[in-house]
Structure 1
Amino acid sequence: MEAPCSCRQQPFVPKFLLEAGAGMIPHPAKADRGGEDAYFICDRGTCMGVADGVGGWAEVGVDPGLYSRELMSHAKKAATTCEPGPNAPQHLMEVAYLSTLARGSSTACILCLENERLHASNLGDSGFMVIRDGELVFMSPQQQHEFNFPYQIGSADSMSDTPQVARRFSVEVRQGDIVVAATDGLFDNVYPDEAASLVSASKERGENAQAVAVTLAQFARMRAADPTHLSPFAYGAQQLGYRYFGGKMDDITIVVAFVVAAAQPKL
């Protein structure tokens, strides 16, 4: 059964909003079909999410991007009527999962802001970070069955995980914080402290959230293409005894959001 969405006696009046923008760079071999990642940013400025379609579906003639894009589309639609609260991200994930008809499977990370609390449900190796004054203050852990085999939700024939196994988080945020949600194309190639420094410096230069997301995506792509870079993916592989060096080419999708004060209604 899906998690109930938050209910209130009075309409929710937000104290803070997510001023968000996205950057996407598909894998070069998948660029003709737009890659296999997807994202959403709700129009109310309270919810956002990313998803990474599982590439193995291409082997049976299914475009892996169809599932992730439909999943995020349904999550965005559900966000228009879901009030922010601790259960909101899980509710959006479960509604989107039940509504998605495409074949395939995907990781998913959904975030909803409720005043000073950022609530999240994360399933798989996509994830999010909270950055404050140039420093990383929170990063969600990955969910993997084994190395390079993340948790995933999917269609009935996918033998995937269920949304109920998603990890749930509630993180304190402040005005001026930067929230980064991304697929593993970022996390496999850029270390968290690097990402925190880069987005903070970009914001300090006056870039808006979308420009910051694009800057970070371009940096991740540069690292993915560098055969001499000891990437986070390479480091993890070597720790398990694999012979791997360099970046990991992949779709890269990043949503960056600034936590900003919401306009308060006049009394």
Structure 2
Amino acid sequence: MEKMIGQETLREIDERIPDALRVAFGIHHRVLPPPGPGQHDEIASFAAALLAPRVVDDDSSEPSAAAPPQGGPLRLDFSSCYLPDHDEDAHFGHAETGVLGVADGVGGYRGRGVDAGAFAHGLMHSAFMEVVSAPPGAPVCPLTLLERAHEATAASRAAAASTAAVLSLYGRTLRWAYVGDSGFAVFRGGRMVARSTAQQHYFNCPVQLSSGSGSDRVDKAEVGEAPAKEGDVVVVGTDGLFDNVFDDEMERIVRMGTAMGFSTKNMADVIAGFAYEAARCAYRDTPYSVLSRRETGTNFTGGKPDDITVIVAFIVSQN
């Protein structure tokens, strides 16, 4: 982050990035005052240069399960950002086994006087303990891990319910399993090439895991795998991210971060920070407001304040 660009370091430019995002994506509030009449708007120029919509090209290819992985083994270099609202999200990452997980406690339990985050926290703790006790070098199956974590958490009689997403990288293959609206996106060459699709019973009621007899089963999980490539960027998050940030917005932020040499921590912070601001805007659309109008006939515009968990992982060479 100290590489020079003109007369400024990336660290100094980074201090302007939140305003650049606001300008590019129509969030009216700016931390720095707008320029006066006839003055050049450096922030708008910066946003236009680094957050321009992607030009379609053939330089990036979608991951295909049919394409055999080629080359040496890969690993995940990752960081996370958690911006709590009710503190009902949980997450973990384990570098040695290349496993990431997020969970989101179902907020509806909050109104019943129940700790809505209990099952999410138990689920991620159980998954982490499974991972650290696995034989060194053994591949981790996300679905099996989710099943075992659910069994352990349900046996503990943890309260409430949770959505969850687990991803693992082994060799050159990225695998996933998710339940509900916690999910992930994969970016290659500045383009989103893979994306989870939220599982919902109906609007704002995700498929969910719990200790109760009426719980959705882990076998409802969406599972899949695809060859990974060095340079891929993986973003894992709870619905606090995906409800408030459109795919093209996330794609442009990832391209910006890649162009500026962001660390995983930088990129996770910026994505989560933008989701936080978008969640609190009443005058611009979000995925949540668009779906609300389509599914329930409301005239709602704006975001959905929520816990926001973002994990950003760079797929890099094992060597």
TM-score (structure 1 length as normaliser): 0.86
Look up the match of 1:21.
Answer: 79
- Tell me how far 1:203 sits from its aligned partner: 3.1
What is the distance in 2 between the residues matched to 1:181 and 1:169? 15
1:169 CA displacement: 1.1
Aligned length: 241
Correspondent of 1:76 among 128, 141, 148: 128
Deviation at 1:62, TM superposition (A): 1.8
Q: Write the deviation string for residues 190-249 of structure 1: whole angstroms up to 9, x where unpaired.
A: 111211220231233222112211110000011001101111111111122222111111
Letter in 2 for 1:163: V
Counterpart among 90, 95, 102 of residue 38 in structure 1: 90
Alignment of 1:1-267 (within 5 A): 15-27=73-85, 30=86, 35-80=87-132, 81=134, 83-84=138-139, 88-100=141-153, 101=156, 102-156=158-212, 159-240=214-295, 241-263=297-319
Give the Å deviation of 1:84.
2.1
Structure 1: gaps spanning 5 or more residues: 1-13
SS in 2 for 1:250: coil
Task: Spell out, residue by residue over 1:125-183, the C-alpha distance to the aligned partner (whole angstroms, 9 max, x if none).
Answer: 111100011110010111111111100001125x2201111010112220000001110
Distance 2:253 2:289 in 1: 21
**Structure 2: where are the runs of 5+ without partners?**
1-71
Counterparts of 1:178 and 1:262, CA distance in 2: 15
Matched residue, 2:35: none
Give the letter aligned to residue 76 of structure 1.
Answer: F
SS in 1 for 2:144: helix
Deviates more, 1:55-64 or 1:123-132: 55-64
**Stretches (4+) displaced over 6 A:** none
Amino acid paired to 1:103:
A
User: Helix, strand or coil: the match of 2:178?
Assistant: strand
| 1:45 CA displacement | 4.9
Task: Give me the whole-angstrom Cα distance separating, in 2, the residues matched to 1:131 and 1:45.
Answer: 21
* Larger displacement relative to structure 2 (229-238 or 198-207): 198-207
Question: Shift of residue 116 of structure 1?
Answer: 2.1
Q: Residues 196 and 68 from structure 1, CA distance in 2 versus in 1: closer, same or farther, beyond 3 angstroms?
A: same
Report the RMSD for the aligned CA atoms in angstroms. 1.4
Q: Distance in 1 between matches of 2:280 and 2:123?
A: 29
Amino acid across the alignment from 1:184: D
Offset of residue 51 of structure 1:
0.5
Code of the aligned partner of 2:243? D
TM value normalised by structure 2: 0.73
